[in-house]
Structure 1
């Protein structure tokens, strides 16, 4: 279970989406390509059940979009990767602007699709209202939320189920777990599942309130409830969307990201994303490096890192395989996404005593926002360079 504590600095701030018609409603992080997928209802008059899915890079650059008709409100979104490519799980078969089923649709950059085409519709339950789905990538499970009454979410009753993703893709829905819920009195703005817990995002623009809860799948007990103050002061600030955020689909240190939508007085909509701190890593996690160029001092000094909250500890000692000097700005290795700072951090490392006789054995290292750890020293050092250092991801 992740700790719903103070959030980290933004993942995205003021990102522009493909449609100017509405705020984002849901978001999903696809960790293999490291892209954001964001769903908006397209407010075009006469076509209110169409949604637009924007695809953005990790830094918020818009790559492309897809328009999906006969969908619904875009209340949630799942992105599945299979051998054929990317599949979206989104709203389908709308009634009154809200979905009554979900659809599994191949993502087509700048393409279109019909979410209510029988070939893509999936119906885990019948006779339910305002349904939506997302995916827990760490378990490869489809998570499906439904209402037993066709009312706004503060008064809604219903349930949330999870299914094996491969079976659901084939149209077989045997619940692995089911939870029921009663009227919360709060406006639901997104949910996600991570391992043994389901997280809900609540709030509305009028009261400028944002709350996240954590519920135990097994018992249905609410274990945490946290007010969120991220992105204060935004005009028309409204919580929108939740997803799992990790470095890979099965990342054991994955956490939860959430969106905050905003609209300027000129009517421009944008999306802001933040995350809760990653859970700690124990034991140390190896960092890939170029073994043809570098060699560790021993097995104890292979590049590795640990996380404690948002503090990153790096441990290594490397030398050049060919014995040549370290170049100014030479990159030793690259940290994974979850361990990267949001700006360049300067670190203090050490160089072996054999390489330095009368001068300091300290050496300056830097870790950039892209996670690349490099050495900066004008002495053309030879020998081992190492670090038992830490930095604050801030």
Structure 2
């Protein structure tokens, strides 16, 4: 289970351009083998409101190519199925008058190509459930499962009753759909994406610039919601609309690295861009805050109070603090004390940074030491003012 309350890493995609700058992203998928992003947009014109545009981006956000999908609905989610015979997309199809899908299609990805997602002569159409509405699908690349969502009525997701099914991906590609599990979803929030990983279904909700982005976690076995986390990452975006949730792996087959990535669309029509962030990998230890004298020191921001985490025999230390009285730091001043589990067996010498106050035309590096008693001490004979800190790692043994 992903620790949804953990701090996230906001640097996966930052203001990445998509093929069309005129519409927001709707969904995304990370393909770990080729290290590529697939980001889906609605690509509508006055005469065609059911087109989708899938942009393919390199890991750094550089636009590689794209593909246009005709009669493909809203693009509420997207899945990528990579095999020896190429890349296939799982996407919307059989669009109703409401512009939402009633079936899903498995479409071969053709760089800069065009495909009709609702044409049974050219794509494989599937209806795992009949008599349902607003269907969509994605892929769990770790479990190799197709995840299929459907609603009992053609209404907004915030007023719907939905079912989410799991199917074996290889069998689904052959048109065989035998559910491995099903959960029911009822919510008063706007759906913006979903993903499955490690026995749990994760769902992204929220609206543009509403500060109401949430990710919930549902146990596939019990059907119970076991997590509901408010997401504040990238809160400075001007038109922050949550769009897309997917599994993120550093490398294919590396299940230990699998976590969740989620996206935000931003910008005005004509200048739309895309952002993506991820949660720490499940095996990453949580940061632990360290007590300090709040009458003497203040952190730079909410992200920089003194804190540490353990990774085997290594300690990661992270802080940025200022003196409240504005006076210079004293050579040999103890800033705070680490608890016993994070103390080294010999003094560790570290190099940090200083804000620049009082060091004009001089180095902005500053020396710290971590003693065997856990004291984090600053050593510098200059009359330094402003904040000091850094991101350090040292061995306990």
- CA deviations 1:45-92 (Å, max 9, x no partner) are 111111000000000000000000010101000000112010000110
Per the alignment, residue 67 of structure 1 pairs with 68
In structure 1, stretches of 5+ residues that fail to align are 283-308, 316-346, 349-388
State TM-score, norm by structure 2: 0.70
SS of residue paired to 1:277: coil
CA distance in 1: counterparts of 2:13 and 2:254, whole angstroms: 21
CA distance in 1: counterparts of 2:275 and 2:185, whole angstroms: 29
Deviation at 1:123, TM superposition (A): 1.2
Per the alignment, residue 274 of structure 1 pairs with 277
CA distance in 2: counterparts of 1:147 and 1:314, whole angstroms: 50
Per the alignment, residue 48 of structure 1 pairs with 49
CA distance in 2: counterparts of 1:170 and 1:210, whole angstroms: 36
In structure 2, stretches of 5+ residues that fail to align are 286-307, 315-349, 352-391
CA distance in 2: counterparts of 1:240 and 1:314, whole angstroms: 39
CA RMSD across the alignment: 2.1
Per the alignment, residue 376 of structure 1 pairs with none
CA distance in 2: counterparts of 1:22 and 1:311, whole angstroms: 43
Deviation at 1:9, TM superposition (A): 2.5
CA distance in 2: counterparts of 1:247 and 1:236, whole angstroms: 29
Checking the alignment, whether the CA contact within 8 Å between 1:136 and 1:195 is kept in structure 2 is no
Per the alignment, residue 2 of structure 1 pairs with 2
Deviation at 1:281, TM superposition (A): 6.9
Stretch of structure 1 that moved more, 171-180 or 118-127: 118-127
Stretch of structure 1 that moved more, 17-26 or 154-163: 17-26
Deviation at 1:310, TM superposition (A): 8.5
Per the alignment, residue 92 of structure 1 pairs with 93
Q: How many residues align?
A: 292
CA distance in 2: counterparts of 1:148 and 1:171, whole angstroms: 22
Per the alignment, residue 222 of structure 1 pairs with 225
Matched, 1:258 2:250: no
1:116 pairs with 102, 115, 118, which one? 118
CA distance in 1: counterparts of 2:263 and 2:46, whole angstroms: 26
- CA deviations 1:6-49 (Å, max 9, x no partner) are 21132111010001231000000000000000000112211111
CA distance in 1: counterparts of 2:73 and 2:311, whole angstroms: 42
CA distance in 2: counterparts of 1:68 and 1:244, whole angstroms: 23
Checking the alignment, whether the CA contact within 8 Å between 1:190 and 1:201 is kept in structure 2 is yes
Matched, 1:209 2:212: yes
CA distance in 2: counterparts of 1:185 and 1:247, whole angstroms: 34
4+ long deviations beyond 4 Å: 309-315
